[in-house]
Amino acid sequence: MNPHTELTIVVPTFNERANVAKLVEKLQGLLGDAGWEVIFVDDDSPDATASVVREIALRDARVRLLHRLGRRGLASACIEGMLASTAPYVAVMDADLQHDERLLPDMLQELRDGHLDVVVGSRHVASGSLGDWSGKRRLASRVATTLSALVLKADLKDPMSGFFMLRRGLIDEVARDLSGIGFKILLDIFISARRPLRFKELPYRFGTRVAGSSKLDSMVASEYILMLLDKLVGRYVPIRFIPFAFIGGLGVFVHMAVLFALFRGFGLSFIAGQTTATLLAMTFNFFLNNLFTYRDRRLRGWGLLRGWLSFTLACSVGAVANVGIATYLFHATPEGGPWWVVSAAAGILVGAVWNYAVTAVYTWNAKGTAASAR
């Protein structure tokens, strides 16, 4: 970073090849020759967005790249980009040209002049607008905003905004408490702050995407709920354990359905049916966890086979622990009454915790992921 850089603009990207040069050109025309830099945080885009950024960076030292391998996520990309900055002010905006970059000088001036922590580009104050959003997307935004009230203790009109600027010191205050889940990093920052944040919302009209496709796929709703749950109960229970346990419960139904079909329907021996049902239930659980629970670390290609093998091995050991603990407690408690239920529940809990802890480390571990920065 240039020693005189006052503002860093963090831009998370995934398949934004066609938009990068246009955004840089807009920033150059708006912000002039000095005092700013832009960090593109790219999640290893298949369209080689990172290569385009590198080419531009060779001509303009204010353009930087943080190339993430093996992980994805808008919120986590923003966090890494903000932490990579040493400028006194940091802005976050998308690469799709839907955020009005002309608001950046006003945001910066508000932070310079006042005692504010954050300035938010808002679609819900004064002349702000959602633009050409469909009725379905407007409804989803209203529902998400309403749900945010469960954890948000500030009168923020647009907590779903992905366009904002803040003081660099605030990042250090909240970084260790951020969940990094999903795509609403502004809401995460407000919830994670241990003091009331001083903020101001400036209106802007959400623009129309110029190129590329939206990063808001069908998974964003579940990620948003996970982020809210993390803020509500994350200090007590690892947030990924909740969907992991839920999927495990679904796996029980799969197991019983397969066992019933093979044992009662096709006349296989109980051992053959139980073995097949166990393997299919584990496979069902593995793929659902890979799709939902560990979406940001999703295994692909040959990694799927390696992950499936480690998952089934860990869950096999977990099944042994489940039966062992349940059997021990059953024999250690008085006969009669509900103790058999307690013993079984304890075995299930021990097995679930074991499966979660071991697979988090050996199946969906974050080792080997890396980032390269220019």
Domain CATH for 21: 3.90.550.10
Residue at which a domain ends, from 192, 211, 236: 236
Q: Are residues 101 and 214 both part of a single domain?
A: yes
Beta bridge partners of 201: 120
Q: Are residues 74 and 210 both part of a single domain?
A: yes
166 within a domain of the structure (yes/no):
yes
Q: Are residues 126 and 143 both part of a single domain?
A: yes
2 within a domain of the structure (yes/no):
no
Q: Are residues 158 and 172 both part of a single domain?
A: yes
Q: Are residues 31 and 122 both part of a single domain?
A: yes
- CA distance readout (Å), 325 to 231, 314, 335, 337, 351: 32, 16, 17, 19, 9
Give the separation between CA 177 and CA 188, rounded to whole angstroms: 9
Amino acid found at 191: I
Q: What is the DSSP letter of 120?
A: E
Give the separation between CA 224 and CA 205, rounded to whole angstroms: 23
Give the separation between CA 189 and CA 169, rounded to whole angstroms: 12
372 within a domain of the structure (yes/no):
no
Q: What is the predicted pLDDT for the residue at 238?
A: 74
Pair 86, 4: CB distance under 8 Å: no
101 within a domain of the structure (yes/no):
yes
Give the separation between CA 198 and CA 263, rounded to whole angstroms: 64
Q: Identify the H or E element spanning 282.
A: helix 270-288
What is the separation, in whole angstroms, between the first and last Cα of the chain? 10
Task: Indicate the pLDDT class of residue 138, thresholds 50, 70 and 90.
Answer: low
34-43, 73-82, 212-221, 232-241, range with the lowest pLDDT: 212-221
Give the separation between CA 279 and CA 315, rounded to whole angstroms: 10
Beta bridge partners of 89: 7, 167
Q: Which of 40, 236, 38, 9 is nearest to 103 (CA)?
A: 9
Give the pLDDT mean for 307-320: 88
Residue at which a domain ends, from 208, 236, 264: 236
Task: Give per-residue pLDDT as tens, 144-167.
Answer: 667 766 677 788 888 888 899 999
Q: Are residues 277 and 247 both part of a single domain?
A: yes
Task: Give per-residue pLDDT as tens, 277-306.
Answer: 888 888 999 999 998 888 778 888 888 999
Q: Are residues 202 and 335 both part of a single domain?
A: no
Q: Are residues 227 and 306 both part of a single domain?
A: no
153 within a domain of the structure (yes/no):
yes
Q: Are residues 191 and 266 both part of a single domain?
A: no
Q: Identify the H or E element spanning 361.
A: helix 339-362
Q: Are residues 180 and 263 both part of a single domain?
A: no
Q: What is the predicted pLDDT for the residue at 259?
A: 81
369 within a domain of the structure (yes/no):
no
Which DSSP string corresponds to 227-273? HHHHHHHTTTS-TTHHHHHHHHHHHHHHHHHHHHIIIIIS---HHHH
Task: Indicate the pLDDT class of residue 369, thresholds 50, 70 and 90.
Answer: very low
Residue at which a domain ends, from 212, 236, 260: 236
Pair 369, 69: CB distance under 8 Å: yes
Instruction: Write out the residue range of the structural domain in which residue 11 sits.
Output: 7-236
Amino acid found at 57: A
Q: Are residues 95 and 226 both part of a single domain?
A: yes
371 within a domain of the structure (yes/no):
no
Ranges 100-114, 118-132, 332-346, 351-365, most confident: 100-114
Tally of structural domains, the chain: 2
For tokens 């062992």, name the residue: 324
110 vs 344, more confident = 110
327 within a domain of the structure (yes/no):
yes
Q: Are residues 34 and 105 both part of a single domain?
A: yes
Indicate the Cα dihedral angle 79, 81, 84, 89, nearest 10°: -90
CA angle centred on 98, ends 96 and 101, rounded to 5°: 100
Give the separation between CA 95 and CA 299, rounded to whole angstroms: 26
